[in-house]
Amino acid sequence: METPDANGSSAEASANDLALQKLTEAVDKNPLDFNSWVSLLALVQSESTTSQETVETTYDQFLTEFPLCFGYWNKYAQYEYSLSNRTKEDGSGTVATLQESKQNARAVYERGVVAVRYSVDMWMKYCEFLIHTLHSPVDETRPLLERAVDACGDDPMAGPLWELYIQLETVNNDMPRLNQVFKRIMYQPLRNLEEFWEKYNQFVLAQQLSALATHEEQKALAGDGDELMDEGLLRVKIVNAVEAVKNKSMEDIYHRQAFEAGIDRTYFHVTPVAEAAMKNWHSYLDFEEFAGNIKRCKTLYERCLISCANYEEIWLRYATWIETVEGFESAEVIFQRAVTVFLKYRASIYLEYAAFLEAHNKLQKAQDVYMKVLSDVAPKLAEAFLHYCSFERRRGDVETAKTWYERGMEAVENEDEVYAYVATSYATFLHKIVGDAALARAVFERAVQKHSESLLLWLNFIHFEMNMKGNNAELVPHVSQIYELALEDGCNLSMDEKNDVWFQYVEFLENYGDSIAQVRDARKKEMVWKLKNSQPRNRTIKVMNFQPAGSSGWDGEYSSNVDLGMKRPRYTAPQTTVTVPTPAAAATVTPAVASTGLPTGAEATTAAAAYYQGYQVYGAQAQAYSQADPAAAASQQVYSQAQYASYYQQQ
């Protein structure tokens, strides 16, 4: 019979197993779930029954996703060191010998300083472990400190690291070497440089002249023919030379102290960096780039990436800068770090990397990057398909580009607005690059059958036909057919959208039709449709900007000052301003897609949006409006109702 304690232990173990399973499933499902990782690490390390392999695997997986977390590298190393005091389950001895635990802990620290090379905190943890925990001899500790100060000794926060170096040489009683450490410190832009200067002055007073300068240095300071210079004067010259270096470093500190004060954190965390802090980083980088000190600028970029590793803009800026000063190889290393470690789930950085490789004629590498995105990172990302199609187009492989356009349409077939954009880009490619208008028209026809609810798609189709070469006799039938298809009962456009399409259809016939009978017939059909679907009989006119003549209110008349692209009401009927919803996608184009190199894909979308806002103008305004920015026209979404007093009865 089990005792109550045994039952309690069994229940607790079962609860821990369940918690472990849930947390493991959470991080497997989302490897970037930082909080679940932290809970999982705390759980596996707190349980004495958890196997060494499980703990090590958990740490390895976590640090693969978040390699900049110096605190967890330290915890991992401390765990390895503690195994020499942990007894095996069978009681046959410790899990690891003291020598094995030391070696394993140092191996973890070595991985940590490689992953976070520019972190003062990471190097401090490693150095303190060797000095205070292992009590390693100076010939092991000094090389590590040299590596540390070489990596981040010029970090303004590196004061504790240099202090550790001073303590090491003081305990070792090597005064000439300590003197050299002090001199090196004076070159560093440390926040507490003045404190080190005071310590150096005290050091000078307590040391022999031979510890402060070599015989050759003393001769150089004394000058020719003055070898018997007084020792006191030599000391003054030595101190003055060091002070001159310190003063120059202090000037550098003063120039940068405002930027340093704006840095809110010097460690990595998954929480967003404050907007003010991000702006400060950019300003600081601008300053260092302009100053032209490559080593200092590179160090600042690396410091910035510790806290901003999740920000693509910093990686791209770093790669662009280092490409300018060091060339292709150095920039590729930066891109590789971004796509293999820090931003490996973000497709946009891969696309930038592929463009970088293509610009340097590394076409096979660029293709491999595109395939990585399309097969693994983001298999249904429209931008990736369009970028790759443009890549193949630039290589001259039109057939491959056509194949991937088709695959792109299949991949996004369930997303109407995205599908509309891919279809428009494909049709534009066929028309402008391949030179086959019939194939382009077939793509549009297939697309509107697939997603008849997409107003963007219909407008792009209309825009395509409007830009085909030919006279009105050819233009009007083609465009009218598209309008009529969009207005059929089987089309899935909303009532509001069809109401707008009717308005534009009539306007199109007014401006391009050969007979007023066509216009009158279209108006009759519009009215029948409105009555059938219980829509207001008022017709709406779209304007970009419409202001009454009186600035303080309505005075019964309209000003003759009309902005470019506006439409005036045909009759001075009372105006009621309403907002008609339009698809957001009709007025915007994703920047990354717009940069793919497609000659008119983005233009088609913007122009279609402008068309939707009312592309026709009257009289002398026509030429000016055609020169206006279509995007500016698309940004206006104000509609005005007006009576057609002689034609429709006001409801």
Tens of pLDDT, residues 152-184: 999 999 999 999 999 999 998 889 999 999 999
Other C-beta atoms lying within 10 Å of the C-beta of residue 196: 21
pLDDT-derived band at 601 (thresholds 50, 70, 90) equals very low
C-alpha distances (whole Å) from 112 to each of 61, 69, 299, 484 are 14, 9, 18, 67
Which residue type sits at 312? E
| Gap between the Cα atoms of 281 and 288, Å rounded | 11
| Gap between the Cα atoms of 423 and 471, Å rounded | 26
DSSP 463-486: HHHHTSSS-HHHHHHHHHHHHHHH
Q: What pLDDT does 219 receive?
A: 76
| Gap between the Cα atoms of 542 and 149, Å rounded | 67
DSSP 11-66: HHHHHHHHHHHHHHHHHHH-TT-HHHHHHHHHHHHH-TTS-HHHHHHHHHHHHHH-
Q: What pLDDT does 389 receive?
A: 96
pLDDT-derived band at 587 (thresholds 50, 70, 90) equals very low
Mean pLDDT in the chain?
80
Q: Write out pLDDT tens, residues 102-131.
A: 999 999 999 999 999 999 999 999 999 999
Tell me which H or E stretch contains 642. strand 638-642
| Gap between the Cα atoms of 273 and 310, Å rounded | 9
What's the full length of the chain, in residues?
651
Q: Give pTM, 2 decimals.
A: 0.76
| Gap between the Cα atoms of 128 and 160, Å rounded | 11
- In terms of average pLDDT, the best of 46-55, 385-394, 446-455, 535-544 is 385-394
Q: What pLDDT does 395 receive?
A: 92
